[in-house]
Amino acid sequence: MTLKDERATMAFGRKLARELRAGDVVTLSGALSAGKTTLVRGLLGALGHEGEVPSPSFAIVQPYEAIEPPVWHVDLYRIENASDLEELGLDDIRRDGVLIVEWPEHAGSEAWPEALALSLEVADNGSRALTAEVPASWEGRWPPR
Ligand SMILES: Nc1ncnc2c1ncn2[C@@H]1O[C@H](COP(=O)(O)OP(=O)(O)O)[C@@H](O)[C@H]1O
Ligand SMILES: [Mg+2]
């Protein structure tokens, strides 16, 4: 699907928010500035988060626990090996919340086989192409309406 501008990316994030359930993992792939964090901004806004959504590239994990379902926004850009990842304790978090992971490739290719895996690509005209690998658990929820 084509996301023609920043507003479209935000709107897609809002639609996706309505489909989320505790325990979901959504991975967001795409180059620097592809629009990953923008999508998360739309998503968190729709769940009632007010205020900023900083890029978690330095904090690595940014929790949003005052919303339902709670969301942990993760950016693995600076993660270099699996032991760094274990220290984040992401598996504990997942049972009662939603994990949204930018740069999932830094955790290895098989880290979240059950994830809804989204990719954003910058098109020649500057819009973004969104593609998805949709696991069985998302049947009936994809595409979000
Ligand atoms: N669909 C889109 N078309 C054009 N620009 C977009 C789109 N979605 C987001 N952007 C812009 O891309 C830039 C980078 O977005 P960001 O979400 O920070 O990227 P990332 O988290 O992937 O590094 C922002 O300036 C944002 O306005
Ligand atoms: Mg980002």
Ligand 1 mutation target, pool 28, 38, 77, most atoms within 8 A of CB: 38
- Report the separation in Å between the CA atom of 13 and the middle of ligand 2, taken as the mean of its atom positions: 14
**Omega before residue 144 within 30° of 0, cis:** no
Which 3 state secondary structure label does DSSP give 25? strand
- Across 57-66, 84-93, 120-129, which has the greatest mean pLDDT? 120-129
- Report the separation in Å between the CA atom of 16 and the middle of ligand 1, taken as the mean of its atom positions: 17
Number of C-alpha atoms within 13 angstroms, CB side, residue 121? Answer: 8
Which 3 state secondary structure label does DSSP give 109? coil
DSSP annotation of 142 reads -
- Report the separation in Å between the CA atom of 55 and the middle of ligand 2, taken as the mean of its atom positions: 5
- Ligand 1, residue 40: give the atom nearest the CA: 17
Global confidence as pTM:
0.96
Cα separation, 8 vs 43, in Å, equals: 12
Cα separation, 56 vs 63, in Å, equals: 10
Neighbours of 21 (CB within 10 A): 10
Neighbours of 100 (CB within 10 A): 31
Ligand 1 contact, 38 CB (< 6 A) = yes
Averaged confidence pLDDT in the chain: 95
The closest residue, in CA terms, to atom 16 on ligand 1 is 35
- Please give the average per-residue pLDDT across 61-69, as a whole number: 96
Per-residue confidence (pLDDT) for residue 48, from 0 to 100 = 98
Report which of 12, 14, 20, 31 is spatially closest to residue 120, judged by C-alpha positions.
Answer: 31
Whether the predicted pLDDT of 82 surpasses 80: no
Q: Which two tokens stand for residue 106?
A: 């830094």
Letter for the amino acid at 13?
Answer: G
